[in-house]
Chains A and B, each alone.
Chain A
Amino acid sequence: MQMILFKMNQQHYLIAAGTVEEVVDTVQITKVPLAPLWVKGLINLRGTVLTVISLAQLVGLPESKTNRNIMIMKKDDERRGLLIDEVIEVVDVDPDDIQLSEDQAALYFTGVVDLGEQTIADVIDVNDKIF
């Protein structure tokens, strides 16, 4: 299955490509006062106002210093942006290579994949959380 490999705080993560509509470069984000902490603000995506969520805040990781990309997530007709550090590439992952997470407490991390070259990536699934 196709997955998007991205980076946050030197760590690698994978997310199912099917849930991502597109990846855009970070644009100006307008803050929304009184919004929940994990809501970064609003962006203008070609004339549509979209809410951007900070992945780091959502899953409880330290915020990265740079935020180069926003992944536009899609579920039915709804779209929301997910602010990350940087997208690296799209990779093909054999589902059998995903070592399922045994830790039930880690809500967003469903497993781990060894990509070789000393790279290990956590598989992340946040669609249920952001929609």
Chain B
Amino acid sequence: MADDNSVYRDIFFEESEDNLTQLNDNILELEKEPDNIDLINEIFRAAHTLKGMSATMGYTVMSKLTHKMEDIFDLFKSGKLKVTSDHISLIFRCLDKLTELLDGLRDEEEQSEDQITELWNELDKVENELDGGQTKTADKNVDEKKAPEDSQLELKFETLEEADLSVIEQAKTQHLNVISAAVRIDPESMLKGPRAFLVIDKLDSEGDIIHTEPAPDQLEEGNFDTDFKLLILTESNQDDIKKIIESSSEIAEVLTAEFDEKTQKTAAEEPQKDAQPAVDKENTTEKKSAAPEPKKAKAPSKKSTSHQKNAKNQSIRVDLSRLDTFLNVVSELVVYRNQLEDANSRQNLEEVHESLEQVSRLTSELQDLVLKIRMQQVSVVFSRFPRMVRDLSNQLNKKMTLEIEGEETELDKTVVTELSEPLIHLVRNSADHGIEDAENRKKLGKPEEGKIKLSAYQEGNKVMITLSDDGKGLDPQVLKITAEERGIDTTGMSDKELQMLVFNPGFSTAKKITNISGRGVGLDAVQAKINELGGSLEVDSKVNVGTKTVIKLPLTLSIIQALMVKLGEETFAIPLDVVERVEMIHEDNILQTASQEVNPLQTGLTPVIRTANILNIPEKDQGKKYMILIKGDNKDFGIVVDELIGQQEIVIKKIDPMLQKIKRFQGATILGNGSIALILDVNTICKDAQVG
């Protein structure tokens, strides 16, 4: 690209990504509500922006494909092309291609039109099929432009007005039937106008014709293709009306039905629009967009309102690295505040006391603020799943729906970004291994359509993300057999422990290896990733009822509450959120069993982990010790420390990758006196102790 464009490149990429995400969301929505004109308009706008921007940047390949795609949206918009599942799939493939092109452009790849030829041709075909079958028509006042052989006669009115609706309401109270009729005149007929006139004339004697499409004068002049529609208030029933119409000559097809407001694509427009006859295409589509009843006119689909709201939110984009720097600076400030407080409490300087208190308060506020700024809604990650489940449903030939809840829940940006991969894995797993095919589901008395539910909510300073499905569940016995085949010792394992085995490295129960999941790598990676984020993961599954995976994540990765302890002479931090409670114990309380040391508590025997031994630190030779009860993924552990120091807010600092490999420390933190304490990774310590 030319250099003068480079300034705009970043903006182009950001906005194009946004537009593509929006298109993906909207197209998915469109499949559910193919007649939602608001939605189509929104799609059209996004596609148009995308095209405009790529053309301005000189990315011709991208703009060419977008242009062709926009043509299809135009056909949707004008109602000439019906929204079908095939069309939706084609558009999704275009969006994928556009994303691919965008990624390529970012890497400054040279692009050629070959990359889009296939899709372009397919789009072209869709367009041409439509044009080819269509006879040339006058574009004024003709609603049905489709040729008789490939279109269906429809009973939907395009231009019904509010006044008409109130007449209908009244008629209903007078026990009159409101019948809508659609008539197709033989395409060979030379006398369309007179034929239509005769039909209307005959019907006039049966009741009041309150509306026709096209308008009566246009009908008489034959200014329509082959079809016309009318609404009649009558005492006769729909079959009578049908017979009367059919009694005329040169009538190819007749449809009649009781008029039903809800199924109508009718108008309920602003008054000034009502006053004008709905003649041009623009006006027609606008009228279609409104909800059938006047009262509902101002409430288009929820989705689109929320989109508009988002767009109006006042916000700016900030480079993430600046936010990171900001966070680092604030973290450092917290460290020095702690040092100051420490020094002050030792020397008790009256003069600084007050100011220091203010500094502390402000630092805390600043800290809250920077953490809040870094928060991002999980919808950033969740938004990709509806599309993914749709694709999976097609690929696997299983029926399933995805329900999403609490997508507005917020998490630290870093966590949100890292969360995407493990969640993709779990969703794929649910779709592939969880949900059964329709036949099996029927046999089990379940609805044919499987259900996957993804929800998020905040609980204290944790965010819970739950993925549940109503599939076949994890059968502990099947898992046991597989585990033993793989040489995993399962003696004494509870059902729940057996189910957790799916997160073991190299474990896969899929009989058939599919390209969706089942390569046997992954679930252990999911667990590893969640642990890395300082979270934990739990599975609850019942055979033939379903599986529920709960992921608990910390709200933020940078500043946490911790319990400070001593092992030997060294100070360590334990994240407070894993701590259940602390007990003072005596060496005598620790009992030795064949395989481990335990401590009898009211809740049962709790395995005791001597942290000092694990870390190879000489234990203090004293009878009195503290046991910190840790809530593990599926059972509790007691970890033994020599001394308790207290609770403190700490800033997590990353440690050298070389030291991360030890897998005993989550990071390090700087204490008030400037020295460093390591943060114990208790989850991994407990897990490894259990295995060893």
Contacts and interface: CB of A to CB of B under 8 A. Distances in A.
Interface of A: 27-28, 30-36, 39, 42-44, 46-49, 51, 80
Contact of B670 (A32, A47, A80): A47
Contact of A49 (B336, B616, B655): B655
A3 B659 CA distance: 30
B617 to A, nearest CB: 6
A94 to B, nearest CB: 36
A93 B21 CA distance: 60
B665 interface: yes
Contacts of B654: 49
A33 B653 contact: no
B335 interface: yes
Interface size class of B (residues with CB under 8 A): 20 to 34
B674 A44 contact: yes
Contact of B570 (A30, A34, A44, A51): A30
4 closest pairs, A vs B, by CB? A33-B615, A47-B332, A30-B676, A51-B656
Most buried by B among A27, A47, A48: A47
Contact of A34 (B328, B653, B662, B676): B662
14 contacts: A31-B570, A32-B662, A33-B664, A34-B615, A34-B664, A36-B658, A42-B678, A43-B676, A46-B332, A47-B331, A47-B670, A49-B668, A49-B676, A80-B656
Given A30-B678, A34-B664, A47-B332, 19 more contacts: A28-B674, A28-B675, A28-B676, A30-B570, A30-B675, A32-B659, A32-B662, A33-B615, A33-B664, A35-B659, A39-B659, A42-B676, A42-B678, A44-B670, A46-B332, A47-B328, A47-B331, A47-B670, A51-B658
Contacts of B335: 47
B292 to A, nearest CB: 61
A38 to B, nearest CB: 10
Given A42-B655, A44-B675, A34 B616 contact: yes
A36 B668 CA distance: 17
Interface in B319-350: 328, 331-332, 335-336
Contacts of B570: 30-31, 33
A48 B664 contact: no
Contact of B653 (A35, A36, A46, A49): A49
Nearest to A32: B659
A71 B406 CA distance: 51
A74 to B, nearest CB: 14
Nearest to A130: B658
Nearest to B328: A47
A75 to B, nearest CB: 13
A32 B674 contact: no
Nearest to A34: B662
Contacts of B678: 30, 32-33, 42
B677 interface: yes
Contacts of A27: 674
Contacts of A46: 332
B5 to A, nearest CB: 30
Nearest to B331: A47
Contacts of B662: 32-35
A44 B655 CA distance: 12
A16 B507 CA distance: 51
Nearest to A50: B656
Nearest to A31: B570
A126 B664 CA distance: 27
Interface in B650-689: 653-656, 658-659, 662, 664-665, 668, 670, 674-678
A124 to B, nearest CB: 21
A37 to B, nearest CB: 12
Nearest to B664: A34
Contacts of A35: 658-659, 662
Contacts of B676: 28, 30, 42-44, 49
Contacts of B655: 42, 49, 51
Most buried by B among A33, A35, A80: A33
Contacts of B674: 27-28, 44
Nearest to B668: A49
Contacts of B677: 30
Contacts of A44: 670, 674-676
A84 to B, nearest CB: 19
A33 B617 contact: yes
B655 to A, nearest CB: 6
Contacts of B653: 48-49
Contacts of A34: 615-616, 662, 664
A27 B675 CA distance: 9
A116 B568 CA distance: 49
Contacts of B658: 35-36, 39, 51
A4 to B, nearest CB: 23
A17 B678 CA distance: 32
B648 to A, nearest CB: 16
Contacts of A30: 570, 668, 675-678
A57 B678 CA distance: 23
Contacts of B332: 46-47
Nearest to B676: A30
